């Protein structure tokens, strides 16, 4: 029995991959009818802070993993005392806080955008003086898909930006000039072996991932540097499972944007265009199995279906090179990921990421 904390689409696809390998999954989530519960053997509905429910759930499992990083840390650390939690609590602790994450990267000699800690208006003014304008002010915790951040373009906007985020635990990031946004998704096994799917290019709309192009068309030395960075972070965390590292290609160097200690949206293409998907690889890793091949079978373009874009599903099914994945969510809302489609192309075919 594999325990999965979180009941969203990532948990759903993890449970489906586990089932193919003969495992059962137990989903723990606070929602009433989460997508993952539809395809799992067991479901516990309770809050993550319900210590009794969490312990009962954990004792039912041989290993526990999580599908997203914004889970309260203390309950996860508590159950880790009597059941293996993989990727592990250290990866969760660092990835939950942007300051911890940036410091972790910098301590390993890995470059990020320039940043400053902000806990007051005086700190923000000092950050503006140090980093220049524009800059992005972000909450250190709970931000995703563009939430919890404000762009500051003028000094007179500083007070309103600071007030809007309603926190004294912030980070200011200086703007960097980059050519494209990349990510590297890799898996690391219990034995330390790493299998990487290589860099992909990501295009966002309204701060939400729209398309992923696999592979990214970049110079081989930069591709190798991106993979080296991701592997270094995984080793530094003694990571077990699938890890995503989001990066900026600045032309002459690679900068880390952030990490996600889990399967990742930009790795969904691997379900159809790689020998082993990111979901199967994660299950293999946390269960102590050998990792599969991460070789790409063909080129791919993954596109998220957001909100009412899901209504196009009949037309997508009619496309001969398209693979449709729906998440079983009952209600389509603006900004909500309802599914994705991956279009497959012969290897070596050039794509225009801006089209």
Tell me: is residue 148 an annotated ligand-binding position. yes
**Per the annotation, does 31 bind a ligand?**
no
- Contact, 339 vs 313, CB < 8 A? yes
Please tell me whether 176 is known to bind a ligand: yes
Q: Would the annotation count 257 as a binding residue? A: yes
Residue 98 known to bind ligand: yes
Residue 339 in marked binding region: no
Find where tokens 């942007």 sit. Answer: 98
C-alpha triplet 30, 34, 37: angle, nearest 5°: 105
Flag whether 56 is marked binding: no
Please state, as a whole number, how many other Cβ atoms lie within 10 Å of the Cβ of residue 348.
8
227 CA to centre of own chain: 16
3-state secondary structure labels for all residues of the chain: CEEEECCCHHHHHHHHHHHHCCCCEEEEECCCCCHHHHHCCEEEECCCCCHHHHHHHHHCCCEEEECCCCCCHHHHHHHCCCCCECCCHHHHHHHCCHHHHHHHHHHCCCCECCEEEECCHHHHHHHHHHHCCCEEEEECCCCCCCCCEEEECCHHHHHHHHHHHCCCCEEEEECCCCCEEEEEEEEECCCCCEEEEEEEEEEEECCEEEEEEECCCCCHHHHHHHHHHHHHHHHHCCCCEEEEEEEEECCCCEEEEEEECCCCHHHCCHHHHECCCHHHHHHHHHCCCCCCCCCECCEEEEEEEEHHHHHHHHHHHHCCCEEEEECCCCCCCCCCEEEEEEEEECCCCCCCCCC
Q: Is 146 annotated as a binding residue?
A: yes
- Residue 144 among known ligand-binding residues: yes
304 annotated as a binding-site residue: no
| Ligand-binding site membership of 138 (annotated) | yes
181 appears as a binding residue in the annotation:
yes
Which residues are part of a known binding site for ATP?
A: 98, 138, 143-149, 173-176, 181, 204, 257-258
Residues in binding site: 98, 138, 143-149, 173-176, 181, 204, 257-258
């Amino acid at each position: 029995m594999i325990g999965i904390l979180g009941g969203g689409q990532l948990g759903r696809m993890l449970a489906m991959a586990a089932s193919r390998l003969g495992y059962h999954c137990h989903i723990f989530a606070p929602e009433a009818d989460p997508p993952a519960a539809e395809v799992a053997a067991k479901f516990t509905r309770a809050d993550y802070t319900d210590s009794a429910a969490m312990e009962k759930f954990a004792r039912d499992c041989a290993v526990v993993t999580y599908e997203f990083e914004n889970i309260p840390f203390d309950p996860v650390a508590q159950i880790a005392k009597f059941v293996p939690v993989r990727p592990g609590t250290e990866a969760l602790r660092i990835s939950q806080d942007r300051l911890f994450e940036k410091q972790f990267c910098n301590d390993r000699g890995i470059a990020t955008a320039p940043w400053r800690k902000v806990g007051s208006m005086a700190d923000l003014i000092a950050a503006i003086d140090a980093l220049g304008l524009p800059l992005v002010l972000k909450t250190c915790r709970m931000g995703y898909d563009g939430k919890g951040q404000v762009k500051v373009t003028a000094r007179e906007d500083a007070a309103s930006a600071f007030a809007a985020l309603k926190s004294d635990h912030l980070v200011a990031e200086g703007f960097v000039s980059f050519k494209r946004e990349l990510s590297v998704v890799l898996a690391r096994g219990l034995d330390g072996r790493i299998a990487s799917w290589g860099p992909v290019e990501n295009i966002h709309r309204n701060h939400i991932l729209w398309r992923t192009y696999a592979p990214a068309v970049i110079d081989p030395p930069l591709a190798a540097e991106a993979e080296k960075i991701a592997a270094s972070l995984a080793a530094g965390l003694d990571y077990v499972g699938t890890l995503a590292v989001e990066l900026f290609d600045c032309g002459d160097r690679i900068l880390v944007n952030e990490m996600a200690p889990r399967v990742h949206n930009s790795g969904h293409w691997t379900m159809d265009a790689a020998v082993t998907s990111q979901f199967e690889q994660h299950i293999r890793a946390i269960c102590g199995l050998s990792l599969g091949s991460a070789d790409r079978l063909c080129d791919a373009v993954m596109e998220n279906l957001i909100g009412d874009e899901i209504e196009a599903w009949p037309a997508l099914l009619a496309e001969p090179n398209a693979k449709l994945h729906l998440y079983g969510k009952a209600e389509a809302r603006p900004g909500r990921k309802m599914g994705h489609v991956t279009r497959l192309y012969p290897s070596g075919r050039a794509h225009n990421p801006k089209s």
